């Protein structure tokens, strides 16, 4: 995924945004031929994500002789652990420092929270999904980070799956009308049901994937018993790390949480350089 054109364009944009016409401080202070070694360290326990972007960042800027990445995405790192080492021109290392850390910290924060969600539902048979509640422009990377933490990607955008939500149902004229229009769709079709009547109607119309939104765990368990395996059930709506286990234990096939991407706190990493021959 790192070599996807969207990611390449995003990394270029991030570098241009930060460096602009040139790193004024570095250009003034550091000789063009000065060589250095830079090392990335974790400053907390975290699940690593985005480390592959370091290779892309330095490839785009040039001036690097060697990059060593001893830890890969999805691996747990501890406070003080080395996660990457780069050797090259000091100017290159300094001008790439902030961009590389921004990606590493943001994506590892998402992966770390995602792992906490998947650990919370362990043994229930329920799968945690992410959502489209991502930072504009960063979706592909943020979903990559969620997957590194063990979460399954739900859909990348509006184009690769059908999810009929409450506003679609209203605009289409009801559950039946919405489903009938999609009877020949080649895409996976999922429909949100808001009431027991809509649940019954959706099942009667042959819906195979249901989204049950904003229910309590007790309500969700009741609805899932009624579904009785006739369709898969996904639960969503304010599902937090504290409540995800209770929802997973209702018998749901999936639980989805936007918090994994929209509320993750960046992990803490730092970058230190020293002169090299």
Whether 165 is catalytic is yes
Contact 86, 272 (CB under 8 A): no
If 0-12 CB within 10 Å is exposed, 13-18 middle and 19+ buried, where does residue 256 land?
Answer: buried
| Residue 12: CA count within 13 A, CB half-sphere | 8
User: Taking 90 as the threshold, does the pLDDT of residue 277 lie above it?
Assistant: no
Whether 89 is catalytic is no
Mean of per-residue pLDDT scores for the chain: 96
CA distance 116 to 107: 14
Whether 122 is catalytic is no
Q: What percent of the chain has pLDDT over 70?
A: 100
Task: Convert the pLDDT of each residue in 103-136 to its tens digit.
Answer: 999 999 999 999 999 999 999 999 999 999 999 9
Rounded to two decimals, what is the model's pTM? 0.95
Whether 12 is catalytic is no
Contacts of 12-20 spanning 24+ positions with Cβ under 8 A: 12/60, 14/99, 14/102, 14/103, 15/57, 15/60, 15/61, 15/96, 15/99, 18/95, 18/98, 18/99, 19/95
- Output the pLDDT for position 3: 83
User: Which structural domains are found in the chain, ordered by start?
Assistant: 5-117+265-276 (3.90.1170.20), 120-262 (3.20.20.70)
Q: What percent of the chain has pLDDT over 90?
A: 96
The active-site residue, picked from 39, 116, 165, 176, is: 165
Q: DSSP letter string over 45-97?
A: -EE---THHHHHHHHHH--EEEEE--S-TT-EE-TT-EEEEEEEEHHHHHHHH
Confidence of residue 197 (pLDDT cuts 50, 70, 90): very high
The active-site residue, picked from 55, 85, 201, 213, is: 213
- Output the pLDDT for position 183: 86
Instruction: DSSP letter for 152, please.
Output: B
Crossing angle of helices 52-61 and 90-120, rounded to 10°: 160
The active-site residue, picked from 132, 133, 152, 194, is: 133
For 7, 40, 59, 67, 92, the CA distances from 30, given in Å and listed in that order, are 30, 21, 21, 21, 10
The active-site residue, picked from 23, 192, 198, 253, is: 192
Q: What's 171-219 look like in SS3?
A: HHCCHHHHHHHCCCCCCCEEEEECCHHHHHHHHHCCCCEEEEECCCHHH
User: Taking 80 as the threshold, does the pLDDT of residue 1 lie above it?
Assistant: no
Task: Convert the pLDDT of each residue in 28-72 to its tens digit.
Answer: 999 999 999 999 999 999 999 999 999 999 999 998 999 999 999
Confidence of residue 187 (pLDDT cuts 50, 70, 90): very high
Task: Convert the pLDDT of each residue in 134-175 to its tens digit.
Answer: 999 999 999 999 999 999 999 999 999 999 999 999 999 999
Question: What is residue 154's three-state secondary structure?
Answer: coil
Task: Convert the pLDDT of each residue in 232-268 to its tens digit.
Answer: 999 999 899 999 999 999 999 999 999 999 999 999 9
The active-site residue, picked from 39, 43, 98, 176, is: 98
CA distance 120 to 104: 24
Distance of CA 258 to the CA centre of its chain: 10
Whether 253 is catalytic is no
For the chain, what is the radius of gyration of the CA atoms? Answer: 23
CA distance 142 to 164: 24
- Output the pLDDT for position 36: 97
- Output the pLDDT for position 67: 97
């Amino acid at each position: 995924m790192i070599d996807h054109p969207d990611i390449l364009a995003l990394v270029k944009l991030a570098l241009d945004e930060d460096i602009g016409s040139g790193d004024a401080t570095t250009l003034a202070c550091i000789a063009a031929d000065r060589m250095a070694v830079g090392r990335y360290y974790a400053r907390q326990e975290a699940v690593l994500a985005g480390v592959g972007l370091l290779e892309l960042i330095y490839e785009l800027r040039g001036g690097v002789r060697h990059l060593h990445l001893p830890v890969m995405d999805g691996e747990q790192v501890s406070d003080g652990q080395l996660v990457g080492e780069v050797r090259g021109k000091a100017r290159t290392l300094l001008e790439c420092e902030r961009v590389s850390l921004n990606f590493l910290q943001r994506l590892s924060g998402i992966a770390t929270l995602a792992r906490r969600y998947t650990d919370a539902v362990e043994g229930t048979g329920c799968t945690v999904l992410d959502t489209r509640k991502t930072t504009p422009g960063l979706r592909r990377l943020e979903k990559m980070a969620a997957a590194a933490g063990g979460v399954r990607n739900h859909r990348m955008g509006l184009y690769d799956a059908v999810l009929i939500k409450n506003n679609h149902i209203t605009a289409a004229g009801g559950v039946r009308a919405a489903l009938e229009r999609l009877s020949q769709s080649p895409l996976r079709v999922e429909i949100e049901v808001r009431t027991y009547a809509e649940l019954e109607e959706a099942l009667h119309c042959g819906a195979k994937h249901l989204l049950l939104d904003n229910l309590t765990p007790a309500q969700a368990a009741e609805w899932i018993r009624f579904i009785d395996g006739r369709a898969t059930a996904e639960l969503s709506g304010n599902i937090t790390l504290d409540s995800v286990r209770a929802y997973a234990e209702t018998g749901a096939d999936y639980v989805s949480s936007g918090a994994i991407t929209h509320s993750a706190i960046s992990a803490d990493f730092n970058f230190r350089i020293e002169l090299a021959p």
